[in-house]
Amino acid sequence: MNELMAFWSEWIKPSAGLPTVQWSILLAVAALTGHLVRRYARLPKVVGYSVVGGFAGLAGFSGAAWPLQGTGLFLLELGVAVVLFEAGGRIPMRWFRHNPMVLVQSVAESVLTFAAVYASLRFFDVREVVAEPLALLAMAASPAVLSRVIMDTRASGPVTERAMVLSTLSTLYALTFCSALAGMMKRGELSLNDTLFDSLYPVAVVLGLSVVVGAGLALALRSALRVMSPTSENTAILLLAMIAAGAALAAHFGGSAPLAALLGGMMLKQLNPRPWSWPRQMGTASAMLTMLMFVLVSVVAAQADWSGPVAGLVTALVVARALSKIVGVAVGNVGSGSSWTQALWVGCAMSPMSSVALLLVSQFVASSTAVGPRIASIALPAILLMEVLGAVLATFALYRAGETSMPWTSRVQHSSLGELRE
């Protein structure tokens, strides 16, 4: 790949620079592959995006340097913020008052995931300062991947809704604790296991700053929606611009940009409880940004150092995480209003890892030159694996739950009219 790029640079002098050409071609190939994967393999398009990005990264694609910084980092933060804002805007807080066991499920699966992954890594003699961040990362599911799976399979129902809510809440926990730990690493404090005050203070700072920025974002958008139509093109532009500004401010003041966007979406849902959806124009822009995010994640993750010892640790992390998600959801299933079979499929649907985890790994690498690379060496292969395999498992879970409108085994010629118009 590097030799090919050097050859191109000798005779291609685009005005926007060679990386722009490279990324344009890569995204075009990803879009085509995603469509073919969806049409012929009956899998979500995100699988095609991730496979293309993974092959490009393994081939030495130089358009995404690690650790992420500058434009690449901002685009990833913006993509994650947009997805989490939308996910937060779909969480009905009143549901938790009527069914508090959903929160119990959320806490149970996150705590069990942390404990299981941490114990598994420590069993393989991974240092505590490395195992702890990886266990916190493992708590986060991927609302971005799950939302694309739901969209492509046209899934709806109790398993779909609960998996999306629990994935969003687990992401909230991971963003809060990982951002706090990254800030402590920057100051030379490598663990949250000191005193109670030392552990809770950085968490409170990250959460508090993110709440303030998220509240400002929610209030600004609520005011705009009073005078603007939700379906207006200008509303879509305003939403995207305000989310980008909120993400930049949160990161600047020491909060978490994705966490601020997630909390902003949740607050806007409470301020504007009537059902609302993204304008069509926002959907198109969000889809493009999301595709770029998935390709970027897989390109970067594929550049990790793949070796036998690392493969063993990645396998331990992935297996411990998958089992603990399922068991954790089952533990909190009593009195939650769902059956044991539904709890199984919810746990399987929460298996993807993607952009949020990569963003947090990037924070760890930027915070500590001693510990960050070791965390990344295990986390990046796990992210790439679970972005692809997790999307397949989530698709299978939703099909088995009977909540998709298109059977997985349907032949292409029997596709719905909506798919043929895609």
Return the minimum-mean-pLDDT range out of 228-242, 248-262, 399-413.
Answer: 399-413
Residue in this structure with the two tokens 């913006």, named with its chain if needed? 78
Confidence of residue 278 (pLDDT cuts 50, 70, 90): low
* Helix-strand-coil split of the chain, %, nearest 5: 75, 0, 25
DSSP state of 412: G
Q: Which pLDDT score, from 0 to 100, does residue 117 have?
A: 96
Q: Which pLDDT score, from 0 to 100, does residue 414 have?
A: 43
Mean pLDDT of 128-148: 93
Return the minimum-mean-pLDDT range out of 147-156, 230-239, 353-362.
Answer: 230-239
Q: Which pLDDT score, from 0 to 100, does residue 131 have?
A: 94
Give me the percent of the chain exceeding a pLDDT of 70.
Answer: 86
CA distance 316 to 300: 22
Return phi, psi of residue 63, to 5°. -85, -5
Mean pLDDT of 52-69: 83
Confidence of residue 422 (pLDDT cuts 50, 70, 90): very low
Confidence of residue 98 (pLDDT cuts 50, 70, 90): confident
Domain coordinates in residue numbering, the chain = 69-420
* Nearest alpha-carbon partner for 408 in 421, 393, 419, 395: 395
Q: Which pLDDT score, from 0 to 100, does residue 410 have?
A: 47
Q: What totals of helices (H) and strands (E) does the chain contain, helices first?
A: 18, 0
Higher pLDDT, 312 or 69: 312
Q: Which pLDDT score, from 0 to 100, does residue 97 have?
A: 80
- For domain 69-420, give the fold: Na+/H+ antiporter like fold (1.20.1530)
pLDDT digits (tens, 9 = 90+) for 179-227: 888 888 877 665 655 544 566 777 888 888 899 999 998 898 888 888 8
Q: What is the 3-state secondary structure (H, E, C) of 198-219?
A: HHHHHHHHHHHHHHHHHHHHHH
pLDDT of residue 337 exceeding 70: yes
Contact between residue 246 and residue 213 where contact means Cβ atoms under 8 Å apart: yes
Positive or negative: CA dihedral 169, 324, 199, 353: negative
Confidence of residue 91 (pLDDT cuts 50, 70, 90): confident
Q: Which pLDDT score, from 0 to 100, does residue 364 have?
A: 92
Confidence of residue 413 (pLDDT cuts 50, 70, 90): very low
* Nearest alpha-carbon partner for 318 in 380, 363, 371: 380
Return phi, psi of residue 338, to 5°. -120, 155
Q: Which pLDDT score, from 0 to 100, does residue 86 have?
A: 87
Residue type, 337: G
Return the minimum-mean-pLDDT range out of 11-20, 52-61, 146-155.
Answer: 11-20
Q: Which pLDDT score, from 0 to 100, does residue 74 have?
A: 84
Q: Which pLDDT score, from 0 to 100, does residue 32 have?
A: 95
**Mean model confidence pLDDT for the chain:** 84
pLDDT of residue 320 exceeding 50: yes
CA distance 83 to 140: 14
